[in-house]
Amino acid sequence: MTSPTTADPRLQLIATARDFYQQGWMLGTAGNLSARLPDGSFWITASGKSKGELLLSDFVRIAPDGKLEASASNLQPSAETSIHQLIYRLFPESQVCYHIHSIEGNLVSRLVAGDSLPLPPLEMLKGLGIGQENPCCVMPIFTNHLEVSQIAADIENRFAVTPPQIPALLIRDHGVTVWAASGEASRNYIELLEYIFRYMVVASRLDVLPNKQSF
């Protein structure tokens, strides 16, 4: 087991979760965060834990083969663990994966009826790796199945054919998931997307956003 030192990625996850909780993006026990270790295993938030009060003991470790490593606490991993595991497999450069629940994220998932959300050509897209002038960027949307394994299967099947333009996906009426090579980058992606989502919600109310669907 990783010892609780300043190099322990759980410390950064705790700080990030507290910040997201204060932003209203991880209220109650909603959302989950994970960080990968050099051996391919990863720490992920345990199920049923308040993200504003996490402790080092509120994480479980998932082995490279996907099995839960034994611990004295008998905690259960987040319900979305299979999605984190898939992201790390599909995008080997990723070291951190964050999933939050925000009001704006759920609202924008209803702006379109299809499985792709066109994002407005805002300057913020540069921070997500889209540097073209007047970019055409879409964000993949997935159905929120009761069985998370089905969501993971849908993600894998779709990304095998159409890789995402940005390191993020949206689950309708559920929340956004991002991944990156560092915790700082993942946090930035969340903040940038939430800005874009807020813009889209306001723009849809002003009737200036194309391809919108009524909430």
Question: What count of Cα atoms within 13 Å lies in the side-chain half-sphere of residue 72?
Answer: 2
In a domain, 213, yes or no: no
Determine if residue 9 is left, alpha or beta; phi over 0 gives left, psi from -120 to 50 gives alpha, anything else beta. alpha
Contact between 115 and 94 under an 8 Å Cβ cutoff? The reply is: no
Q: What is the tens place of the pLDDT at every residue in 23-67?
A: 999 999 999 999 999 999 999 999 999 999 999 999 999 999 888
Structure tokens at 163: 């890789």
Contact between 99 and 85 under an 8 Å Cβ cutoff? The reply is: no
Contact between 195 and 124 under an 8 Å Cβ cutoff? The reply is: yes
In a domain, 38, yes or no: yes
Structure tokens at 203: 């723009």
In a domain, 162, yes or no: yes
Question: What count of Cα atoms within 13 Å lies in the side-chain half-sphere of residue 173?
Answer: 6
Mean pLDDT in residue range 88-92: 97
Q: What is the pLDDT of residue 1?
A: 45
Asked if the model's pLDDT at residue 12 lies above 50, the reply is yes
Q: 84 a known binding residue?
A: no
In a domain, 3, yes or no: no
Q: 101 a known binding residue?
A: yes
Q: What is the tens place of the pLDDT at every residue in 169-198?
A: 999 999 999 999 999 999 999 999 999 999
Q: Provide the domain count of the chain.
A: 1
Structure tokens at 42: 């990863």
In a domain, 4, yes or no: no
Structure tokens at 47: 């199920």
Tell me the residue range of the domain where 185 lies: 9-205
In a domain, 188, yes or no: yes
Asked if the model's pLDDT at residue 150 lies above 50, the reply is yes
Closest to 62 measured CA to CA, from 90, 93, 83:
83
Residue 197 CA: distances (Å) to CA of 28, 117, 200: 22, 11, 5
Contact between 96 and 188 under an 8 Å Cβ cutoff? The reply is: no
Looking at per-residue pLDDT, the higher value among 187 and 209 belongs to 187
CATH number at residue 80: 3.40.225.10
Asked if the model's pLDDT at residue 92 lies above 90, the reply is yes
In a domain, 2, yes or no: no
In a domain, 143, yes or no: yes
Q: Which 3 state secondary structure label does DSSP give 44?
A: strand
